[in-house]
Structure 1
Amino acid sequence: MPHEPSDPARRSSGGTPTPEQRAHELHPARPRTRSDIRRWRRLLADERAEAAVYRDLAGRRTGEEREILLALARAEKRHESHWLDLLGPDVGAPVRGDLRTRGLGFLARRFGGVFVLALAQRAEARSSYAHDADATVTMAADEQIHEEVVRALATRGRNRLSGTFRAAVFGANDGLVSNLALVLGIGASGVATSTVLLTGLAGLLAGALSMGAGEFVSVRSQRELLEASSPSPTADAALPNLDVDANELALVYRARGMSSEEATTRADAVLARLAVAPSAGGLLLETGADGAPAADVDDLETHGTAWGAAVSSFLFFASGAVVPVLPYLLGLDGLAAVAVATALVGIALLVTGAVVGLLSGTSPLTRALRQIAIGLGAAAATYVLGLVFGATVG
C-alpha cells in the first residue's frame, strides 16, 4: 500500500526535513531505482502540464466554470508536490510530459472549447494512479473525481452544441456516403463520365436541400412540442384569486404526476410563498418533486434552433457530397476516379468519426473505424449493384 506523506510536526527532530529524509519517509522499505526516478520525473511533468491545461482553460472562462477549473489546477499542484517530495534530490531538470498531455496543453492555449474539455476528460480517465504503488490512494481517488468534474463541464458544452452539431455530423456523413454510393453505382453501370458528374452534382443539390428542409421541420416541431409542454407564464396571475379551501392548484401538480398528498403539500407551499411575496412569479413553472421546469431552457438549447440546424445540415451535406465528385471535376474517370473518390471519402469518414468520438468522450479510433466501415460498406454494396445492372443492360 502506498505510504502517505508524514506530518513534519510529528517528527522527533521537530525541524524541516531535507529532501533526502523526505524521500526516505515516503518509501523507507524500498530503495529507489533509476527506472523509478525516470517514471516519477515523467509523472511530475504530466501533473505540471495538466495543471497548466486547467489554468489555460480557466483563462478563457468566467464565473463558476473558471473557479472549478482553477480548483482542478490546484489539485494537480498537490499531486505535483507528492512527486517532488518522492524525488527529493533526484528531481533534476524539468522533463517533458507525454505527447498527449503536451498536445492537450497546445489546444487549451489556443482554443479552450468543448473539444479540449472532452480530451481532458479522456486524459483523466487514463490515470494510472489506481495501479501505481508510488501514488497515494487519495491521488487515485482525486483523478476519478476529476474525470466526473470535467465530464460535467464538458456536458454543458455538449448540450449547447448538440442540436446544431447533430445536424452537422448527420449531414456530412449522409453527404459523403449517399453521394459516394450514388456516384459509384452510376459509374459502375458503364455510363459516360459526364453523366456520372452530372448525377453527382444533382445528388449534392437535391440531398442538401432535402436535408436542410428536413432538419428545419424536425427541430422546429420538436421545439414546438417542448414549448407546448411548458406551463403558461401568464397562469401565475390567477393564483392570488384561487379559493384557498378548494385549492385547485393541487390538481395541476396531480396532473403532472404527483400523488394526492404530494400535490396538496406542494400547492399549500406555493400559496404560502405567494402570501408572503404577492409579486412572486414563475411559481407554476415548478413541477415534480425537485421543482424542475417541465420544459426548460436547457431542453431547448439541446435541440438547437430550426434555422441553425437547417443551415448546418445543408452546408455539411454539401461539403460531404462534393468529396466523391471531386475526382470527376478534376478530369479523372474509370477506376482511377473510383479509387480517388473512395480514398477521399474514407479519410473524411475517419475524421468525422474521430470528432464524434472525442466529443462523446469515447475512443476516437473506435468511432472512426465504425464510421468508415458503415460508409464504405454501403458504397461497396451500391457499386456491386451498379456492376450487375451495367452487365444486365449490356
Structure 2
Amino acid sequence: MEGKTIPVSTDAAINNDTDMNNNDSDGGELVLVTGGNGYVGTHVISRLLRSGHRVRTTVRSHGRAASAEASVRSAIAASGVDPGGRLDVVSADLTSDDGWDDAVADCTRVLHVASPFPSVQPENADDLIVPARDGTLRVLRAARDHGVKRVVMTSSFAAVGYSAKDGNEYDESDWTDPANDNAPYIRSKTIAELAAWEFAEKEGDGLEFTVINPTGIFGPTLGPRLSASTELVRAMLAGEMSAVPRTHFGVVDVRDVADLHLRAMAHPAAAGQRFLASGDRAVSLLWIAGVLAEHLGERAARVPTRELSDEETRAVAGSDPSVREAAGQAGSVPILRTEKARSVFGWTPRDTETTILDTAESLFRLGLVKG
C-alpha cells in the first residue's frame, strides 16, 4: 500500500523561532479544533491561544453543553492561558451532520483531533470504524464547502505500523493493512485515514490536507478526564497492575503533538503529507514503570516490577480484549523514523523520561493518584 506523500527537500527545514513567527503572522485567524474536551484537543487549543489565534472547538454535549464547555475552559485555565473572548465552544457530534456547517463557518483552518478511543474495545468493530470514518468525512465536506484552506487530521501510528514488516522499521510511507485482524481501534484509525486521503484527492476541490500520526501520547493531563495512556500511568501508580504485557511502542509528548499540529497547519510544505510523531526509540511498559520507580520514590512504590511472558500475554488477551493489541505486538520492537517532521519543521520532541514523569506529576497535582 503506497503512502500519500510527495518529496520534500531538506532545504525546506526551518527552525523553531521562524516557525512560530509564521504562526504569529496568522494571529487572529479563526481555527476550528474538533474534540476540544479531549486530551490532545485541550493542549492544541491552549497552544493556538498562546500563538494569538482565535479558536472555535466542538464537543459532544449529549444534552450537557454547559458542562462540556465548562470542562474545556477549566482545562485551558489549567494550562495557564486566559482565552478571554477568543474561545468559542459549540456542540457537534461525529455521528451526525447537525452542527458541522456552523462549526466550520468562517474558519480558515481545521484541526480534526476528535476520534473515538474506547477504554474497552467493542465486540463489534463497526462501533468504532463507522463513526471514525464517517465523522472524518463530515468534517472534510464541511471544510471544503466553506472554503477552509487546510485540514490537519490527527491519525495514529495505528494506521502506519500494525502490519508485519521485515526489519520493523516504519516511516510515513508505511500503512497498516485494514484487512489485517487487528483490534477495532487500529482498524478504525487506518480506515478513517484512508477514506480521508481518498476524499481529499477525489472530492477535495483544492482543500489542502495534512495528517499527523502520533505513537503513544503521554504527558501532563489538564483535567480529570483521562486518556488511555494517562490512565495506564495512573493504574501503575495506584498499584492496580501486578504485571505488564511485554510490548514496545513509541512515546510522544502531548505538548509536542500540539506543537506539531500548529506547524503542520501553517507550513507550505506540509500540504499533502503525513508526519510520524514519536520520540527517538520504542520503550516497554516495564521501562515506564522503572522510570516512575526510579524518580518518584515512595510515590511509585506500587508500580509493577514484573513483565508477562509472551505466552502469558496471549493467554490474558483471550479473556481481556484490552490486552489484545499488546498480544499482537508481543516480541516486536518497532524502529521509528521521524526525520521528516524534524527536517521540514525543525520539530524536536521532548525526552521520553521527562514526558512520563510529567504525566505522573499531573496526576498527583489533580489528586487522581495519592502522592
If the TM-score is normalised by the length of the shorter chain, which range does it land in?
under 0.3
From the two aligned structures, give the one with the greater strand fraction.
2
Bigger Rg over Cα: 1
Per the normalisation by structure 1, the TM-score is: 0.20
Per the normalisation by structure 2, the TM-score is: 0.21
